[in-house]
Amino acid sequence: MRRTLIVASILAVLVPSAVGCGGKASRTTTIAVVPKGTTHEFWKSVHAGAVKAGRELGVDILWQGPLKEDDREDQIKVVDTLVSRGIDGLLLAPLDDKALRQPVASAVRAGIAVVTFDSKLESDDPVSLVSTSNLLAGRLAGLHMGEILGGKGHVIMMRLHEGSASTTDREQGFMDAIATFPGITVVSSNQFAGALAEGAYRVGENLLASTRAADGAVQGIFTPNESTTFGMLRALQNAGLAGKIRFVGFDSSDKLVQGLKDGHIDGLVLQNPFAMGYIGVKTLVTHLRGGKVEKFIDTGAAVVTLKNMEQPDIKERLRPDLDKYLK
């Protein structure tokens, strides 16, 4: 009996202490990372960077997002579900710069800190944006195109989809840079490929046909993300035009790297998705722990070509070691 009383007395002391210190502060911090999609290599690199930061900081990383990069409703549902679970922070790549404003506002009202990455949101609610300077990255693509064309020729730009702030800025940056070359004419810039590579392939085929690319009427093509670049690459290859028309794309995958090696792609503007995930999580945790964060953090961009693709810094962006963090 006496032993039982002693144990009970110890528990009476310990349990209130655990409850008092438990709450939100004592449990492991949970950061939810919501990408635009979950299939492209770009988002897998973001995931790996977030996992690395989570391990270093001792926080849990919850990765969840829509399958397709144009499914706004699914992304909204994902965010709403995560908010109801009581996460501590949300790292979000908004599919639409306006449609995600209300879900983010709800998260902030619930006491959840929000950092956006890859694309901006038309809202002051996020504490920071971690992203490529997409306007500048698009300009890099346009300047590279102007250089490899010798400042003259006819060019196609195939867009992604409306509402995507990141690619809209890249497209604008490309057009701004091309405008500095009086001898270059953009013959098509209003066709949207959609979120999937298969759709980009079909739109690419139609563009090549409608602009009489096979007859020599097109000298250059620009695409603003991974799926549009891969879709257009397939269209060029199937038409027998790969390597004959100068082609500048965006982002990286094994197939796009092979396109560089084969001479079918003349340049890829590489972002740093691993850094977006890594810095995004670190920025959120810094904010949650009372630190000051910048409103915009530029993760940089570079043009990779056949000549520089083996440079250590470029090689790391082309082939990040995802297995180290995702297996």
Answer yes or no: is pLDDT of 20 > 80. no
Residue type, 82: L
pLDDT mean over 135-149: 98
289-294-299-300 Cα dihedral, nearest 10 degrees: -160
pTM score: 0.82
Answer yes or no: is pLDDT of 24 > 50. no
Q: What is the pLDDT of residues 150-190, one digit of tens each?
A: 999 999 999 999 888 899 999 999 999 999 999 999 999 99
Q: Are the CB atoms for 249 and 256 separated by under 8 Å?
A: yes
Q: What is the pLDDT of residues 80-107, one digit of tens each?
A: 999 999 999 999 999 999 999 999 999 9
Answer yes or no: is pLDDT of 12 > 70. no
The percent of residues in the chain predicted with pLDDT above 70, rounded, is: 92
Residue among 152, 213, 145 at smallest CA distance from 173: 145
pLDDT of residue 155: 98
Catalogue the long-range contacts made by 317-323 (C-beta closer than 8 Å, 24 or more residues apart): 317/252, 317/270, 317/271, 317/272, 317/274, 318/252, 318/257, 318/270, 319/257, 320/45, 320/48, 320/274, 321/48, 322/44, 322/45, 322/47, 322/48
Q: What domains does the chain contain, in order, with CATH numbers?
A: 10-132+273-299 (3.40.50.2300), 134-270 (3.40.50.2300)
Residue among 27, 108, 89, 107 at smallest CA distance from 282: 89
Q: What is the pLDDT of residues 32-80, one digit of tens each?
A: 999 999 988 899 999 999 999 999 999 999 999 998 888 999 999 999 9
Answer yes or no: is pLDDT of 237 > 70. yes
* Greater model confidence, 198 or 16: 198
Residue among 269, 224, 260, 268 at smallest CA distance from 242: 260
